Amino acid sequence: DDLLKAVTGLYFISRAAVRDHVPLSKIKKDMISLGFKADIADVFVHHIHSNRFNIERVSMRNRIHYPRLERLKWRIDLTISSSRLKRVMVPTVTMQFFLDNGRIVNIDLSVEKFHVLRYNVAKLLLQMGTLNRHPMIRIMNQLEEEARRGM
């Protein structure tokens, strides 16, 4: 029962350490404060350090994530006439999204809806740029970078 608790604890420690880029010195200090012997903490930290790249690669491959856009094809279709009307002349924007999970998503938009989509994407990109320039985000990014270098 104690072995199961120790293995489970080591698993959660290693998962959090790799995910959050925790410095190795902090991992060792925290393990000792949890009651692990110093030599066990040293061995564990050594294995985390030597296998960090493989652990990160596997965790990135196994994580849950939204599909990413690999490619986008678009065109403008012009409906000249229909079975009901002789002359329609209505343009539509047809977009085809190729996702990294192999799915292909097709969307047909009226010109008005396309402009609404374009406006909202531009607005979102502007807000993201404003957020990235915020001083607090810069400080957080700097601290994360220092923590990565400190490993």
- Minimum mean pLDDT range among 66-75, 92-101, 141-150: 141-150
pLDDT score, position 106: 96
- Minimum mean pLDDT range among 14-23, 112-121, 123-132: 14-23
Please state, in angstroms and rounded to a whole number, the distance separating the CA atoms of residues 5 and 36.
Answer: 12
pLDDT score, position 151: 53
Does residue 82 contact residue 95 with C-beta atoms inside 8 Å? Answer: no
Taking all residues of the chain, what is their mean pLDDT, rounded to a whole number?
A: 85
Q: In this structure, what DSSP letter does residue 10 have? A: H
Please state, in angstroms and rounded to a whole number, the distance separating the CA atoms of residues 36 and 117.
Answer: 55
Give the residue-averaged pLDDT of 64-81: 89
> Averaging pLDDT over each range in 51-60, 104-113, 124-133, which range is the top one?
104-113
Give the residue-averaged pLDDT of 6-34: 83
| Residue 63 CA: distances (Å) to CA of 3, 7, 20 | 27, 22, 14
Give the residue-averaged pLDDT of 119-126: 96
Q: Which token pair is 144? A: 């994360």
